[in-house]
Structure 1
């Protein structure tokens, strides 16, 4: 009898600089693959330089392939909302522009409903002390970023932005979600 292929799902999330978001999800148990890229814009296959202008309509995002029998989409979003500021419009820290917006690009109606429910709950309970401005938008495209952006933190741990922005976020994630880290990370 042939072994059946594991069913995976895709999540596409924008939480500011994709270096931060990618580094976090690479360590989450149940995540199979993460790629940094661009979603939500009109230009086909944009470059980093084009997206940085804020004129393409794209957000810096990560596309996450995950095993829903290990980590659910609501758990993916729990990590997402805990590791960036979803209350600042078009900004994460010093990174400013529409390309840094907080966004969930849903792949099906179930993901849309889950994202909207979680955002409503966060707002109703005033979890952040300010309104969540994360956009929930239908996924239409994903363009993988240039190779040098992939696994950027692991490949450039001494780079200033990684030292002062990414690594502190990664350490916060590891502390909060220590029971959900891949065994190679613990």
Structure 2
């Protein structure tokens, strides 16, 4: 893995041995719900006045790509009106400061219609499950993320410290990054082989624990 973040914004490697993929029948609605939250998380980054210019460019481009993607998901789940609204935003999106709050409000309304089931991940985690999450992080994520803080200011989509991200971002929005996982690789797409329990354990690990 490189030290450049993938389209989803969190480089949790998804080729985890033995983990089951998300069920196809559940995929589109959950991916859509999570992606709306991921865009809102990226918007919150763009709104930061001290964000490095290269980071801002990367987030603006990533938001543009996501806005181009979710209309077909909205159509699939039966929301053509939402699809039309997002298509309009994608057409007009430039990342201008005056667009940020308005787009966030539009996505908030959309999220009300297509909510992520956060309760499915807000579950009790055993010590063994937390240890497995730590092992997943150590094996697949730490080398690209640990100690990198807010990311290299000279890289558009810089890898950021996942423990820092979990505390910096809205908790549900950070969870959404874990749910959708790594994107941008045609061999992975949106398929996330992490189980819901593994995602929940990683969420707890990054939110309440520290890097070793």
What is the TM-score of this pair, normalised by structure 2? 0.25
* Greater RCO, CA 8 A, separation 6+: 2
Higher strand proportion (structure 1 or 2) = 1
Which structure's residues are more often helix, by fraction? Answer: 2
TM-score calculated relative to the size of structure 1: 0.27
